Amino acid sequence: MGNIDKHTVIARRHDKAISLDQSDCFSSHQASFAMTTALPVLRFITSCLLGTKQSPLTVSSFNNTVIARRHDKAISLDQSDCFSSHQPSFAMTTALQLMRFITSSLRGTKQSLVVLGLLVLSFSANAKILLPQILSSNMVLQREKPINIWGFASPDEKVEVNFAGQTKQTLTDKNGNWSVLLSPLKTSAQPQTMTISGANKIELTNILVGEVWLCSGQSNMEYQMRKLAKIPKPKNEKLGFPADAVEKAKNQQIRIFLVNRKQLAKPDSIHKSWAIAEDSALRAFSAVGYFFAKEIQEKLGIPIGMISSAVSGSAIEPWVSPEAFAQEEYFKNQKVSNDPGKFYTPMIEPLTKFKVRGFLWYQGETNCFLNETISYSYKLKTLVNLWRKAWGEQLPFYFVQIAPYDYSKQKSDKVVLTSDTEPNFWEAQQQVLRLPNTAMIATSDLNDNGADLHPTYKWEVGRRLALLALGKTYNQKIDFSGPILKKKRIYMPYVVLSFDHLKYFVSRNSDQFTGFEIAGKDGKFVKALAFQKGTDIIVSSKEIPNPKAVRYNWTENPTGNLYSNGLPALPFRTDNRLTSQFKAN
């Protein structure tokens, strides 16, 4: 083995050599290192010393000694790969102390080998309690639902959790995992402290109880609050422009958790992952997520916790596990591309024990660039079903129509992009509305520049999502949606369209509404006249005496003016080809 002293390199963190006398080399918050000699040292000692005649202990006595933790799995001495450099996500528990004792023994001290054995066993039995990243000070816990509190320690260790007058106890399993279930909690805007006790004691402070939502998707969901201070003033002044929202954010009742892809699955020893929605933490957070939380908090007057887990440029497939695709009939006997599970495993799955009220989803541009239609419908359906199954509840799933963009002007080596590419995609998104407890907001009016894939008005996107939640989840008596097509009837030469969420009105003119087109049997659409009579829209054209179909805002640059409740209608066509093809069940 060679000589061992305090300068012996036992690990590497990034490109830095870690020697035996460095106190923090195994800190759980510094997990990015590759072990070099620790495992051989431990095995050498247990075989050369513990197997001697002077000691009743043998190598097998220490095979189950917990020397490390990777994610939620206890790593024992007999596991060959626990220090592999490609698996750095663990927090050391006893190895450093044990190795220091061993080197002292090797240098000729007189400590008893029996004491050494007992010390090793003592280290194993009293490994530090660790928590997942999502459990920290400043968090919001979901009200009115049983709450999971879980973590990691040594096998068979007693753990006690105290919170809000409840005391729960448990023993860790053979892998060191533990979990307790708190009874449903009442809303609490007063900060409370949670204590977790075992070999060590953890205090999580400033905890509130209210409503928790998870928002996810690609760049338009990830879009950070800090960008609001840099964008030009938007054209639609009626929608406001909160450029100074971060500076004005002083609401202690809104808390935020920004998922770090590389850290979420690792145990946490700092307990500061949640933050109050202000200053630098808010600058880095999702604008859509924050403005959703702001609206909900103002209207309900209770604490709101927002979790943001989004990746710029991501397709939908990485947010769905390969197993979920395999279970969906549509994807049988076909390979799903774009790295299924790449983001689900590190960025969604570790959150599934943490109770939430529902999901917000803003994604699709990457898949639209691939000219997807019904395949995207099934991918989104698979995602919704997977996430609901993972959380064990039929949670609300509210999503965003991707904003208008000049797809037809973009060049692609894979597909031909046309002016119909985005309307076709909108239609694919809307198929998922046939799943229970889903809703979609319209964004047809939220882009001032067709060449901008990341339009402004994120505050309005957040507000419209919040209206859905307030109306559908929290049952407030509000108008939460623009007109949504329900059915059509043909009375020559008119097509009569009925809508949900369209208030009673009688138009003065026959051309009140723009954005409508009408077609006959040949399928060639022309501009149409459209007016409202009661709760119906009447569409016609002198050029089409025998109409068969109508469409609205069927363009990547929509200008239609059909609104109700101050909210725009979703685009549609009455000859929707996906309705009969897509199976919601």
Task: Check residue 104 and give its pLDDT.
Answer: 54
How many CB atoms are located within 10 Å of the residue 13 CB? 18
Predicted confidence band of residue 352 (pLDDT cuts 50, 70, 90): very high
User: For 69-78, 212-221, 371-380, 525-534, which range has the lowest pLDDT when averaged over its residues?
Assistant: 69-78
Predicted confidence band of residue 75 (pLDDT cuts 50, 70, 90): low
Predicted confidence band of residue 527 (pLDDT cuts 50, 70, 90): very high
Contact between 539 and 488 under an 8 Å Cβ cutoff? The reply is no
Which value, in Å, is the radius of gyration of the alpha carbons in the chain?
Answer: 29
* Cα–Cα distance, 186 to 147 (Å, whole number): 12
- Write the pLDDT tens digit of every residue in 412-470: 888 999 999 999 999 999 999 999 999 999 999 999 999 999 999 999 999 999 999 99
Residue 377 dihedral angles phi and psi, to the nearest 5°: -55, -45
DSSP secondary-structure letter at 224?
A: B
Judged against a pLDDT cut of 60, whether residue 123 lies above it is answered with: no
Average pLDDT over all residues of the chain:
85
Task: Check residue 490 and give its pLDDT.
Answer: 97
* Cα–Cα distance, 25 to 99 (Å, whole number): 13
Contacts of 199 (CB under 8 A, 6+ apart): 125, 126, 127, 128, 129, 153, 154, 157
Predicted confidence band of residue 509 (pLDDT cuts 50, 70, 90): confident
DSSP secondary-structure letter at 346?
A: I
Task: Check residue 23 and give its pLDDT.
Answer: 43
Question: 561 burial class (0-12, 13-18, 19+ CB within 10 angstroms)?
Answer: middle
Type of residue numbered 159: V
* Cα–Cα distance, 258 to 308 (Å, whole number): 5
Task: Check residue 358 and give its pLDDT.
Answer: 98
Task: Check residue 369 and give its pLDDT.
Answer: 97
* Cα–Cα distance, 527 to 541 (Å, whole number): 7
- Write the pLDDT tens digit of every residue in 280-298: 999 999 999 999 999 999 9
Percent of the chain with pLDDT over 90: 76
- Write the pLDDT tens digit of every residue in 555-580: 999 999 999 999 999 999 999 989 99
Contacts of 382 (CB under 8 A, 6+ apart): 320, 324, 325, 328, 331
> What separation, in Å, do the N-terminal and C-terminal C-alpha atoms of the chain show?
63
Tokens representing residue 448 in the block: 């001032």
For residue 493, whether the previous peptide bond is cis, meaning omega lies within 30 degrees of 0, is: yes
* Cα–Cα distance, 141 to 499 (Å, whole number): 38
* Cα–Cα distance, 53 to 58 (Å, whole number): 10
What mean pLDDT is predicted for residues 359-367? 98
**DSSP assignment of 483-519:** -EEEEEEEETTEEEEEEES---EE-SSTT---SEEEE
Judged against a pLDDT cut of 60, whether residue 241 lies above it is answered with: yes
Judged against a pLDDT cut of 80, whether residue 402 lies above it is answered with: yes
3-state helix/strand/coil string of 251-306: CCCEEEEECCCCCCCCEECCCCCEEECCHHHHHCCEHHHHHHHHHHHHHHCCCEEE
What mean pLDDT is predicted for residues 133-155? 97
Contact between 263 and 131 under an 8 Å Cβ cutoff? The reply is no
Judged against a pLDDT cut of 50, whether residue 110 lies above it is answered with: no
Tokens 């920004």 belong to which residue? 258
Q: Are strands 304-310 and 254-258 parallel, antiparallel or unpaired?
A: parallel
Task: Check residue 514 and give its pLDDT.
Answer: 97
- CATH assignment of 208-473, among 3.40.50.9100, 3.40.50.1110, 2.30.30.90, 3.40.50.11690: 3.40.50.1110
Contact between 303 and 187 under an 8 Å Cβ cutoff? The reply is yes
What mean pLDDT is predicted for residues 29-58? 42
Query: Phi/psi class of residue 339: alpha, beta or left (left: φ > 0; alpha: ψ in -120 to 50)?
Result: left
Judged against a pLDDT cut of 60, whether residue 133 lies above it is answered with: yes
Boundaries of every domain in the chain: 9-125, 131-206, 208-473, 484-573
Task: Check residue 83 and give its pLDDT.
Answer: 37
Among 428, 320, 318, which residue's Cα sits nearest to residue 383?
320
Tokens 């400590």 belong to which residue? 111
pTM: 0.82
Contact between 537 and 513 under an 8 Å Cβ cutoff? The reply is yes
Among 569, 516, 570, 572, which residue's Cα sits nearest to residue 544?
516
Task: Check residue 37 and give its pLDDT.
Answer: 39
Judged against a pLDDT cut of 80, whether residue 27 lies above it is answered with: no
Predicted confidence band of residue 80 (pLDDT cuts 50, 70, 90): very low
Contacts of 108 (CB under 8 A, 6+ apart): none
Contact between 480 and 527 under an 8 Å Cβ cutoff? The reply is no
Contacts of 72 (CB under 8 A, 6+ apart): 132, 152, 175, 176, 177, 267
Judged against a pLDDT cut of 70, whether residue 7 lies above it is answered with: no
* Cα dist from 194 to 149, 165, 197, 459, whole Å: 10, 10, 10, 34
Judged against a pLDDT cut of 80, whether residue 187 lies above it is answered with: yes
CATH number of 131-206: 2.60.40
* Cα–Cα distance, 134 to 31 (Å, whole number): 17
* Cα–Cα distance, 427 to 572 (Å, whole number): 7
Judged against a pLDDT cut of 70, whether residue 47 lies above it is answered with: no
Contact between 191 and 276 under an 8 Å Cβ cutoff? The reply is no
